[in-house]
Every structure is written in C-alpha cells, then in structure tokens.
C-alpha cells in the first residue's frame, strides 16, 4: 500500500512538473543520468544486497559498509564536480554545470543513509520505511513545484533530488537507532566486497546498457528530444517499477530466509511470478493502447512527440517482473558470481545493439531496448530457474494466462475509440480505463484462478506467500 501511495504521489508531482517545465528542462537533467547512475553503483558496490542477504552480518559489517559508502561518495562527488565544466562543454549546455554540483552534494548526503535503509528492509520494518518514503515524496515534490514556478528550469529537478536526499537520510537517522562504529574493520570490508563485487560488476554493465542512450540522444539529437524519450521511459517504468518494488521489498528478505527449504522457496517464487504478471501485463498493455490520448490529456499537448516512445517502451516493460524475480532467486541463493557471468555474456551484446541503433534513430534505440529486455528476461528465467527446479517451460506456463488475457483486454480497449468518437477525449479515455479494468478482472477470475488465489493469499499473509504447488 505504501509503494502504491508513494508512486501515485510521485506521478501526480511529475504531472504537475510537466505542466510547469519544458521537455528541454527534463532533457537537460537527464544528460547526467549515466554519470549519476555509475556513481551510485560505485558508492553501494553491492553491499546493500550483501547486508540483506547475509543473515549473520555483524555490527562491524554494517559499520564497514557505512564508512566505505561515505568515502566513495566523497570521491565520486569530487570527481563529478571537477568534470562538470567539461560535461557542460561536451553537451553545449552551460546550465548543466550547476546541476552537476547539486547532484554531487546529494551523492554524499544520500550515502549516509544506505545502511539504515538496508537494515530496516532486512528486518521488515516497513512502517518506518513507509513514513520516510511518503515524507520524502511530499517534501521534495513541494520543493520542485516551488522552484519550477520560480523559474529555475532544469535545476528544479536537481533541487528535488537534493531535497529527497536530505529529507530521506534525516528521517532514516531519526527513525532508526542504528549508528556506525567509529572505525572500519578491514575483515568485514573484505567480506562485503567479496559478495558485492559481482553485484557491482553486473550493475555497472546494466547502467551502461540502460543509460548510454542518454549520451547519444542528448549529444546528437538535443535535450528536447531526450526529454521526450525520458518521458516515455519514466511513464512506462512507473507501473513496472511499482510491481517490482512491492515484491522486491518483501520477496528478497523472504527468499533469503527460505534458501534451505527449496520446495517452499520454489512455491514462493512461482506465486510471486504469477501475481506480478497478473498485475503488470494488463497495466502495460492497457497503457500501450491508450497512450496517444493518455499522454496529451495527462502531460499536455507539448508532450505529444513522446507518444511513440511510450508505445515502444511499453513492450520493453512487459516481462520486467520475470527478470526481476529470477534475479532475486540468484541473489537470495547467494549466487552473485553466477549472475555476474550471465550478465557478462549478455550485456555487452545488448550494449553493441544500443550503439548500432543509436546510429539509426531514437526510435531504433527504443526498439533495441525492447529486444534486449525480452531476450534477457527469458535467458534469466532459464538460468535462475535451474537453481530451484523452476524450469523456463514451467515459468512460461505460469505466465501465459495473464499475457493472453491482458492481450485480449487490450484489443477490446483499443476498439473503443471509434465507437465513441464524438465524446470528449477525457471521457473516452475514462471509458477505456474502466472497461479495461472490468474486462480483465472478469477474465482473470474466470480463466486465471490460480493467480487470483495467489494474490488473495498474498493480501492475507503479506509477509509470506505460500501456495500449494500444482503437480
């Protein structure tokens, strides 16, 4: 519920900001996406996952992560500050320099809350995380709207990030009684690095694959086009991220505790996968067919050029839960090395595909993301499924009902506009959404009862999804 509320508030604030700021402002801010993403990965170095996965982590381990995160954050912030003038010249955007300075400061501030956040998630202290998240979204949103109205342009988004970093870190320190010890234990640091180095390598490959496109689009097509592309990306990411976040928060700690009981582990993975696709598939395919009117009505006429990117990138999000949940299997099982080797074989190929697509068009880049997402999702399912005896064929069998029913719903919703062509666009969109919800719900209750049962069990149990595994 917290994630749903937080993401809804975040979306409302984003809508308001799209009405205040130009596409160019969002594009300018996105120019630093690759650099901030890489910095965040260096700062964490996979230690957050290591701390959650290791049920025997000591106080020295926790303090080692804190001091390592802080030291690397300071170094990356200094590097970004020094590189800011060069980045501004490279993209020919003078205002980028001040944005880089603000984000560099945020790197250091946010790093001091990483351990608190990991420990709260590990201990299932969701009430504290809920309060922190909602407080951060509201305060940072208010700051951004105020700055946007005051005419700060792209700097508005950097101030929003800084406010979120300060507020979130402050609340974590207030609500958590954990405090770092005044030293760094070398043995603990080596243990964390041993686990985290593989996760670090994977995340580094992933961020270059996902964010290198911002460099090509920003440099050769300009910030405005990048703004349209990122609107397509963030809009399609919202439902998929919401679904993944819900299950990642609960599933990773739960999976980590079940690794000794493979049967129960497999049951939870199957249930989690079925539920996630039951939710994700209709939302993504529904958004695809209503995207034309949705973008214009919600974000405004100025965002019309973002529609093709929304439509294409919707397809890239369809099987994201498959990838994310199977990834959790790897991580919870303590197999980051296997995952690292898997990504080393696939990500470079996808990276080359993105570079080749960048030479054609922005639309080609979007399609390259679709191809990469689909291939990586099913390769991940094939690889991780073997760890717990949940083969790819079984996963496809569990996914098929939700995909087929969501596709049927999307076709029906797509056919509605010609019938009500004379109605106002807002009314037409509302009818499409309502029809889609009722149609898919009816189809799922009738033809996908297993996933519905899983969802009911999840809502009842919340912390643990336990279903009887079919023969």
At a CB cut-off of 8 Å and minimum separation 6, what does 374 contact?
Answer: 315, 316, 318, 319
126: left (phi over 0), alpha (psi -120 to 50) or beta: alpha
At a CB cut-off of 8 Å and minimum separation 6, what does 411 contact?
Answer: 289
> If pLDDT is split at 50, 70 and 90, which confidence band does 468 have?
very low
300: left (phi over 0), alpha (psi -120 to 50) or beta: left
CB 65 within 8 A of CB 115: yes
**pLDDT, tens digit (0-9, with 9 covering 90-100), for 232-270:** 999 998 887 777 776 666 666 667 677 677 788 888 888
Percent of the chain with pLDDT over 70: 92
Cα–Cα distance measured from residue 186 to residue 177, given in angstroms and rounded to the nearest whole number = 24
Please name the residue that has the structure tokens 């694959």. Answer: 209
Q: What is the pLDDT of residue 465?
A: 39
Cα–Cα distance measured from residue 78 to residue 102, given in angstroms and rounded to the nearest whole number = 12
222: left (phi over 0), alpha (psi -120 to 50) or beta: left
Tokens of 57: 């982590």
- The average confidence (pLDDT) of the chain is 88
**pLDDT, tens digit (0-9, with 9 covering 90-100), for 387-415:** 888 999 999 999 999 999 999 999 999 98
Instruction: Find the helix packing angle between 362-388 and 223-257, rounded to 10°.
Output: 10
Which helix or strand (DSSP H or E) is residue 460 part of?
A: helix 449-461
CB 452 within 8 A of CB 275: no
Q: What is the pLDDT of residue 254?
A: 66
Instruction: Give the single-character DSSP code of 21.
Output: S
**pLDDT, tens digit (0-9, with 9 covering 90-100), for 98-155:** 999 999 999 999 999 988 888 887 776 667 777 888 899 999 999 999 999 999 999 9
At a CB cut-off of 8 Å and minimum separation 6, what does 193 contact?
Answer: 45, 47
Cα–Cα distance measured from residue 430 to residue 290, given in angstroms and rounded to the nearest whole number = 10
Sign of the Cα torsion 419, 425, 426, 430 reads: positive
- Average pLDDT of 276-299? 94
pTM of the model: 0.86
Residue 92: pLDDT over 70: yes
Instruction: Give the single-character DSSP code of 243.
Output: H
Q: What is the pLDDT of residue 156?
A: 97
CB 148 within 8 A of CB 20: yes
Cα–Cα distance measured from residue 31 to residue 99, given in angstroms and rounded to the nearest whole number = 10
CB 184 within 8 A of CB 126: no
Specify the 3-state DSSP secondary structure of 183: coil
Burial tier of 389 (Cβ tally within 10 Å: 0-12, 13-18, 19+): exposed
Nearest to 388 by CA among 254, 244, 247, 264: 264
Cα–Cα distance measured from residue 240 to residue 274, given in angstroms and rounded to the nearest whole number = 14
Q: What is the pLDDT of residue 234?
A: 92
Cα–Cα distance measured from residue 250 to residue 358, given in angstroms and rounded to the nearest whole number = 37
> If pLDDT is split at 50, 70 and 90, which confidence band does 467 have?
very low
């Amino acid at each position: 519920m917290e994630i749903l509320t937080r993401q809804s508030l975040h979306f409302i604030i984003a809508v308001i900001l799209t009405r205040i700021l130009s596409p160019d402002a969002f594009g300018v801010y996105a120019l630093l996406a690759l650099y901030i993403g890489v910095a965040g990965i260096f700062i964490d170095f996979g230690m957050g996952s290591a701390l959650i996965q290791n049920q025997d982590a000591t106080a020295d381990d926790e303090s080692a992560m804190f001091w390592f995160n802080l030291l690397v954050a300071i170094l990356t912030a200094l590097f970004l500050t020094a590189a800011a003038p060069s980045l501004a010249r490279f993209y020919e955007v003078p205002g980028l320099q001040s944005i880089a300075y603000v984000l560099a400061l945020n790197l250091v501030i946010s790093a001091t809350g990483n351990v608190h956040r990991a420990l709260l998630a590990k201990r299932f202290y969701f009430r504290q995380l809920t309060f922190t998240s909602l407080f951060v979204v509201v305060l940072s949103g208010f700051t951004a709207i105020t700055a946007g109205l005051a005419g700060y342009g792209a700097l508005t988004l950097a101030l929003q990030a800084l406010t979120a970093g300060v507020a979130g870190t402050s609340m974590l320190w207030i609500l958590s009684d954990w405090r770092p010890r005044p030293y760094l234990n070398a043995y603990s640091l080596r243990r964390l690095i041993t686990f985290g180095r593989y996760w670090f390598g994977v995340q580094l490959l992933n961020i270059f694959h996902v964010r290198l496109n911002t460099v090509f689009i920003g440099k050769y097509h300009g910030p405005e086009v990048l703004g349209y592309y990122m609107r397509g990306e963030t809009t399609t990411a919202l439902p998929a991220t919401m679904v993944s976040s819900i299950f990642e928060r609960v599933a990773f700690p739960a999976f980590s505790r079940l690794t000794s009981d493979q049967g129960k582990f497999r049951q939870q993975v199957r249930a989690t996968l079925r539920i996630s696709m039951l939710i994700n598939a209709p939302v993504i395919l529904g958004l695809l067919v209503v995207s034309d009117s949705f973008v214009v009505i919600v974000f405004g006429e100025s965002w019309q050029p973002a529609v093709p990117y929304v439509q294409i990138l919707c397809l890239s999000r369809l099987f994201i839960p498959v990838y994310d949940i199977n990834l959790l299997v790897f991580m919870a099982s303590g197999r980051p090395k296997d995952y690292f080797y898997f990504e080393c074989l696939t990500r470079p190929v996808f990276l080359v595909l993105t570079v080749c697509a960048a030479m054609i068009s922005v639309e080609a880049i979007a399609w390259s993301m679709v191809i990469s997402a689909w291939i990586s999702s099913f390769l991940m399912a094939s690889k991780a499924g073997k760890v717990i005896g949940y083969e790819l064929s079984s996963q496809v069998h569990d996914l098929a009902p939700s995909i087929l029913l969501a596709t049927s719903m999307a076709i029906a919703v797509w056919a509605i506009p010609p019938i009500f062509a004379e109605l106002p666009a807002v009314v037409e969109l509302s009818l499409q959404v309502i029809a889609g919800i009722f149609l898919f719900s009816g189809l799922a209750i009738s033809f996908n009862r297993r996933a519905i049962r899983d969802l009911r069990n999840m809502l009842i149990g919340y912390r643990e999804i336990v279903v009887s595994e079919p023969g």
